[in-house]
Amino acid sequence: MLNKLQQLGAATIGTVQGLGRASLMLFGALWGRPRPVKSWPLYVKQFYVVGVLSLLIILVSGLFIGMVLALQGYTVLAKFGAEQMLGPLVALSLLRELGPVVTALLFAGRAGSALTAEIGLMKATEQLSSMEMMAVDPLRRIIAPRFWAGLICMPLLALIFNAVGILGGHLVGVDWLGVDGGGYWSAMQANVDFYDDVVNGIIKSTVFAFVVTVIALHKGFDAIPTSEGISQATTQTVVTASLAVLGFDFILTAVMFGG
């Protein structure tokens, strides 16, 4: 019993210390005078690596999730003769919930793990140390561009996910199952609110972007510089980031749509 309690305490202290180190890292990376001319190419590269290279998986997943939603939704709606509500069903599920959450989970697996492994390996091969000895701050040179790339790309990816998902729903619902095309769009237009649904979805996905990116960067930066340490850190990134996304999703949903 006492042992369990002790373990719980140790885990709590560890978590708080981790949060502290992550905040320090972020502060070090973002505090200070920006140098747009020198860092521009670095940012472009990270936007490409983090954002553009994640596009394929986002497009494919978005399409399929939209199609499945339409297929599942149709069977239930048809029982009540409410097929014309398929548009809002697909759009609202995607905008409010599935778009931000699934994008964040995919992003953690695709880009987050890559960030952790890359930074962990840089640490293990002393690249970060040698950069520091060359009087170049690795926080600002390595961490900052990746942080902004993650923070900005993920909400965009979520929007793309939503758009493709809605098209996928149209593909199945209208083109295959024969729901009226005009109805699909007009019902969606009547039932989706820009602020309540679209903006809230973007807020959600910005929060997730922050959480996933910071976890990925911190796990890499804090990794034990051995092959085992890096593999652990990569796994932890995916697990911790996914759980954090689900936790934050519940809180945000409760705040936004709960009452």
Partner 1 sequence: MVDIQNLTFRRGERVIYDNMSMQFSRGKVTAIMGPSGIGKTTLLRLIGGQLKPDSGSIMFDGDNIPMLKRHELYQARKKMSMLFQSGALFTEMSVFDNVAFPIREHTRLPEAIIRMMVLMKLEAVGLRGARDLMPSELSGGMARRAALARAIALDPQLIMYDEPFAGQDPISMGVIVRLIKSLNDALGMTSIVVSHDVTEVMSIADYVYIVAERKVIGHGTPAQLLEHESPLVQQFLQGQADGPVPFHFKAANYAQELMEIKG
Query: What are the C-alpha distances in Å from 164 to residues 59, 63, 160?
Result: 6, 5, 6
Question: Considering the complex, what minimum distance in angstroms separates the CB of residue 2 from partner 1?
Answer: 25
C-beta of 49 vs 89, nearer to partner 1: 49
CB of 229 to partner 1, least distance (A): 16
Q: Which are the contacts of 73, defined by CB distance < 8 A and separation ≥ 6?
A: 86, 89, 90, 169, 173
Count CB neighbours of 87 within 10 A: 30
Q: Mask of contacts with partner 1, 34-63, x by CB under 8 A?
A: ----x-------------------------
Question: CB-wise, 127 or 231, nearer to partner 1?
Answer: 127
Smallest distance, partner 1 to C-beta of residue 38, A: 8
Q: Which is nearer to partner 1, 130 or 189 (CB)?
A: 130
- For residue 205, which of 105, 109, 113 has the smallest C-alpha distance? 105
To partner 1, the closest distance from the beta carbon of 121 in angstroms equals 8
- The nearer residue to partner 1, 97 or 132, going by C-beta atoms, is 132
Q: Residue 122 or 160: which CB sits closer to partner 1?
A: 122
- What's the CA gap between 174 and 32, in Å, rounded? 53
Closest alpha carbon to 211 in 251, 159, 161, 256? 251
Return d(Cα 116, Cα 150) in angstroms, integer.
Answer: 13
Residue number, 88 or 138, with CB nearest to partner 1: 138
Please state at what angle helix 99-107 crosses helix 227-257, rounded to 10 degrees.
170
Q: Is 193 in the site for partner 1 (CB under 8 A)?
A: no
User: x/- site string to partner 1, residues 122 to 141, per CB under 8 A?
Assistant: ---xxx-xxxxxxxxx----
Residue 16 C-beta: closest distance to partner 1, Å: 20
Give helix 200-221 / helix 144-170 axis angle, nearest 10°.
Answer: 140
Residue 171: count other Cβ atoms within 10 Å of its Cβ: 15
- Sole window of 17-25, 109-117, 121-129, 167-175 interacting with partner 1 (rule: CB under 8 A): 121-129
Q: Residue 10 CB, nearest distance to partner 1 (Å)?
A: 17
Q: Binders of partner 1 among 80-119, rule CB under 8 A? A: none
Query: Radius of gyration of the chain from Cα atoms?
Result: 21
**Cα-Cα-Cα-Cα dihedral sign, residues 39, 42, 44, 47:** negative
Rank residues 122 and 238 by Cβ distance to partner 1 and give the closer one.
122
- Total binding residues toward partner 1, as defined by CB under 8 A: 13
Report in angstroms how near the CB of residue 45 gets to partner 1 at its nearest: 9
| Residues binding partner 1 (CB under 8 A) | 38, 125-127, 129-137
